[in-house]
Structure 1
Amino acid sequence: MKKRGFEIVTKYVEEDTHLPKRATHHSAGYDFEAAEEVVIPSIWKQFLSRKINDNVITEKKIKPVLVPTGVKAYMMEDEFLQLANRSSNPLKRFLLVSNGVGVIDSDYYNNPDNEGHIMFQFTNFGVKDIVIKKGERIGQGIFLPFLKADQDQTSHDRTGGLGSSD
């Protein structure tokens, strides 16, 4: 029986996509790579390029950029995969994981919308656009257990992909 691990999403099988791996014997996180080249625009450039009337800015224009990994993760029902930023991203590249910490639930695997494709959300707080190249390490994933409350109740089963449990 498989406990936890990674697989390539169907769309990326022929794209030289790599499964996440740990850098050292004592690394907690599995390093994820970008499956495509993606530009993360400077948030300041987005602010400055729009006319601001009465301090109203269209929220749709300023939002995180999703960076595909081409990878999905399977795990036990009482586990989740925590997505975290690389420590060098904010310091050297001004990149933040926009949602703070990503949570990949066990039922995200093979969902009908996107097959469980894991993507990192980034916001660039630097003044220049950042290009993330295909194969570049972008973040890490850590498998963790979780506990349930005595009065645990859920409202529904997962029916989709990213953001579907909202």
Structure 2
Amino acid sequence: MKILNFFKPKKRRGFEVLDEFERYFNSDDAVKIPSRKTSQSAGYDICAIGSYVIQPGSKAIINTGLTAYMGEDEWLGLFVRSGLSYEFDLTLQNATGVIDSDFYGNHIRLLLRNEGTEPFIVNHGDRIAQGIFLPYLKADEDKASAKRTGGFGSTGVAA
């Protein structure tokens, strides 16, 4: 019996492991799909893949091995976990990470900055950020028509 496509549930929003990180998925080094820890949590905990040392006053790009999918009128906000900000003076270099819906298929990476006085160690699998899916509105007369040409830091860069 053939099942028609319109009977299959359409995925609305979520996370996927990128192909180049798939080899880690069923091992001790698995890329972790973000999850909420409580039923009222807004944020999905995002884990690091790999280990890093961030020296005081410096920054590091942290890999997640993930991409995200969502509706055209949504974005994924990335925020450092509040406990890391408070206890270890960690921030996102750009304050809030913005993952647009057309970023799908590109690697979500986090640019962490250590504002503390001691080196900060990120271990593989550490929960370092939260992702929150949010809707957005468009202005009247919006005429954006360009297509994304790359991943991290690519918006507005000439192809």
TM-score calculated relative to the size of structure 1: 0.82
1:12 match: 21
Amino acid corresponding to residue 105 of structure 1 in structure 2: D
Amino acid at match of 2:135: P
The one of the two structures with greater contact order (alpha-carbon pairs below 8 A, sep at least 6) is 1
Q: Distance in 2 between matches of 1:94 and 1:40?
A: 11
- Structure 2 Cα separation of the partners of residues 90 and 76 of structure 1: 30
> Structure 1 CA distance, aligned partners of 2:141 and 2:84?
39
The residue matched to 1:89 in structure 2 has which SS?
helix
In structure 1, the partner of 2:53 is: 39
Q: Does 1:86 align with 2:81?
A: yes
Q: Does 1:141 align with 2:131?
A: yes
Offset, 1:155:
5.2
* Structure 1 stretches lacking a partner, 5+ long: 44-61, 111-115
Specify which of 36, 39, 43 is matched with residue 29 of structure 1.
Answer: 43
Find the residue that maps to 1:69 and give its secondary structure: strand
Amino acid at match of 1:134: H
CA distance in 2, matches of 1:9, 1:41: 28
Alignment map for 1:1-166 (pairs within 5 Å): 1-15=10-24, 16-43=30-57, 64-110=59-105, 116-154=106-144, 156-166=146-156
| Residue-by-residue CA offset, 1:3-47 (whole Å, 9 max, x unaligned) | 11110011211221110000100000000000110111111xxxx
RMSD: 1.1
1:165 alignment partner AA = T
Q: Equivalents in 2 of 1:102, 1:122: separation in Å?
A: 10
Which runs of 5 or more structure 2 residues have no equivalent in the other structure? 1-9, 25-29
| More divergent stretch after superposition (9-18 vs 97-106) | 9-18
Q: Work out the number of aligned pairs and report it.
A: 142
Of 68-77 and 9-18, the range deviating more from structure 2: 9-18
Classify the secondary structure of the residue corresponding to 1:148.
coil
In the superposition, the TM-score normalised over structure 2's length comes to 0.86
**Deviation at residue 158 of structure 1 after TM alignment:** 0.4
- Partners of 1:67 and 1:28 lie apart in 2 by 22
